[in-house]
Each structure stands twice: as structure tokens, then as C-alpha cells.
A and B are shown apart, each in its own frame.
Chain A
């Protein structure tokens, strides 16, 4: 554990070194959330309701979306496939630690620095949108949402990690990254709240694991999910977490036997 903590701390220090870039990140986050809110306020300017959605539902959903995303996002596919292809993971695999835990520490280190920047921005925006957020937020559901955020992040991480390991076999996994993005946009709730999906298709969205990355924790916070549903969903997310963990371990051991130090 000590070695992963050391790496985790090193990642935080490394990110904090580039303050100018971090300031730009903060500004982009502020403009991004602000633009989303302005667009939705514009859509609702003529009427309080669009479809079955009330203005408070949508504004609070799109306010929570980047916050939950900041916690549950994983971006292993951004770097690991390239490292495998170029052979630069050779220096890491000879070291006495578990490679997936090492990447997890890497991911958490970047996340902590990003969160330290993003949280003040969200608080600032939240101050102005408090009327919309308060109308939907149920503080009693916060502990449940936190559990699903942690599990959602781990599940997303192992899904992303497993996808990156395909680089042992496939020359360019960039298109898999895009496919993942589309899956999250559609089935994760990134593009629209999944409660908008017609009932005849809803089961597909329910069975797949992607709803746990964005939609489900937000729906808990918005008090749209009953405690019974939450308890029923817990074994489901644990199953998917184990599934992606086992698959990524298998891919790692099979991929490593195929890997040459020069790359694939």
C-alpha cells in the first residue's frame, strides 16, 4: 500500500506543478457548466415544462452531471494504449507492484488535483443555482449516492483499463475510446437523463452497467430512486465491477505473454 500511496502523492505534486494549465482547466469548467445552464434556461424561457421535464429537473441534472462525472470518470484509454504500442510500459512491468493498482493510483492522483480545482467552481455555480438544486436535492440520499459514486468509479476504471489492454492485440484502440464515449453518452446518461427513455427500451438501459457512471448517482441525489431500487442495484453494480476486474486481469495476463519489449 505504501508504494501506491507514494505514487499517488507523486501524481498530485506533478499536476500541481503546472498552475497555469490548471487555471485554464478551472475556467473551462466554469464556462462549460455555465453554458449548459444558460442553454437550458433559454430552452425553458417560454415554458416551465418541456416534455415531462420541469426546469428544476433539468437544471439540477445538468449541474450534478459534471460533478458526478468528475468523481466517476476514468481516462486510462487516453494514455495506456499508446504506452503499450510504443513499448514504454516495459519499465513499469519489471517493478514489484501490481500494474492495475499502479494505474489506479495514477488515476486517483490526477483526479484529486482536478477535483481540488473543480470543487470551488461547482460551489461558485451552485451558489447561483441553489434555487434549482435545492428543489431536487435530498440530503438523506447523499450517503447512498457516495457509495454508488465510489463503486461507479471503480467499475468505470476497470472497464476503461480492460479496453486499453486491447492495445496488445489491436494496432489503434482510438475507435474503442470513441465507442466508449458513445456508450456513456447514450447509456450512461451523459447526453440526456435516462428517465426520458420510452418504457419499451428502458430495460436495455437498466441491464447495461453504464447507467452507474452518471445517471444512477444523480437520480439518487434527485430523489428519483427508491431505497428498494438502490438495494436491488447494489448487487448489480458489484457484479459488473467484478466482471470488468476479472476480464481486465485475464486480458493483462494474456496480453503480457504476447507483448514484446519493443511494443506489441
Chain B
């Protein structure tokens, strides 16, 4: 409960700060809408000569992109900036401030700043999901809503865990400047159906499991490419990745020695 209150206070604080720069806020939202239009236009171009690509039709691919954008938006709103700042707060010793506060270090360091102007990414993503489901003739059902909700939660948890693990390397490397490039690479890969890469190979599936459960498997469940039972794989997998990431963070934290780290 204490953490929920803390999160709400941080949220209010960040909202007030974002609203100070209204022009920026709206510029960001416009940019995000523009970006989704470009992405969908590009996908459409590749469907001009063929009705399916590797078994995915255009609206199924739109659905996958929409689901990814929802997760991407939520990740940016709550965690991205904080995890991106990790190397700097570790290098400069600013992490001391979090360690001395009467709340979990990881919680504070991961949620201190929220970028509410990323709400456009989530909203455009939700719009694309609804648009695709409409064109795929889906009826609103408990299974559909449940699958979307679980997928969103599991996807967000997994993305957070992967980035947290990578940013925890900052405790060992003095100048970890590649975090943004890592995110770019991950983001570029997640917004395509990863079965294009794995091609059904079980070793590739196992190696890419943390990425597959973010969007590809949920989209495959909804479009009935795989059994609906796979949804039960999502939660335990996301939890395992989360526990591993937190353990790695705590292990890395033991190597922190303030500004000289």
C-alpha cells in the first residue's frame, strides 16, 4: 500500500512537470501518431503483391504492431527513462540517495521519473489493436479481453526484466553507454513476428523465448495460430524473468561502492 501511495505521488509530481511544457507534450503526441501511420503504411506496401507473409495477413500484423506499441508506450511512461539513467546514477554516485531512503532501492530507481507524454504511443497502439480486431471480425469476449490484459502485463514485465538485467551491468562497467542502442535493437526486433527468425526451430524458440512472449506468442494466440493454452505460459515465464532480473540487480548492487564504483 505504501508503494502505491508513493507511485501516485510520483505520478502527480511528474504530471505537473510534464504539463509545464505543454507544447512539448503535444508535439510528442503528434510525432507518435505520425510514426504509427508510417509503420502501417510500410507494412501495407509489403502486402501489395502478396496477401500473406509467412502466414501472417496484413491485419494480423497490424494487431501485432498495435500490441507492441501498447507495451512500448507503457514501458516508456513508467520505466524507460529511469532504467536509461542507471549508468549515470551509478557512475556519479547518485544512487546513494536512493539507498538511504526508506523504500526499496529498485522500486525508487525504476519509477522516479515517468514520461507521461508517451501516452500517445499507448493510445495509438490501442487504436491499432481495435482497428485490427474489427477487420479480423472479432467479437468482444472474456477470452479476448483476458488474453490482451495478460499479454500486456506479461509483455511489460518481460521487457522491464530484460532491460533491468542489461542496465545492471552498469555496476561492473564504468561507462555503459550502449543502453539506448540496446533498446533500439530490441524494439526493432519485437515489433515483427519473431517466428520469421525462429522458423519453427526449437533451439531458436528456446533462445528467443523472452522476446517471443512479449508480443509474438500473444498475437499468435489471438489469431489462433497456436493453442489458447499458451496464455498460461506467459505469466510464469514473465515471473521467472522478473525474479532473475531482480536477483541480478541485487547481486550487482553488492558491487556498488558509491561514486568510485
Contact = CB atoms under 8 A, between A and B. Distances in A.
B31 A175 contact: yes
A115 B57 CA distance: 39
Contact of B181 (A28, A35, A175, A196): A28
Interface in A93-122: none
A20 B174 contact: yes
Interface residues of B, number: 38
Given A39-B189, A50-B49, A24 B173 contact: yes
A28 B197 CA distance: 17
B24 interface: yes
A60 to B, nearest CB: 17
Interface residues of A, number: 35
Contacts of A35: 185, 188-189, 197
Contacts, number: 100
B35 A46 contact: no
A16 B42 CA distance: 39
A147 interface: no
Interface in A29-47: 29, 31-32, 35-36, 38-39, 42-43, 45-47
Nearest to B172: A20
A202 interface: no
B174 A18 contact: yes
Given A39-B192, A191-B38, A51 B45 contact: yes
A178 interface: yes
Interface of B: 20-21, 24, 27-28, 31, 34-35, 38-39, 42, 45-46, 48-50, 53-54, 117, 169, 172-178, 181-182, 184-185, 188-189, 192, 195-197, 199
19 contacts: A17-B175, A20-B174, A28-B182, A32-B181, A42-B54, A42-B195, A43-B46, A43-B53, A45-B196, A46-B53, A50-B53, A51-B45, A171-B20, A171-B24, A172-B21, A175-B24, A175-B31, A178-B31, A185-B35
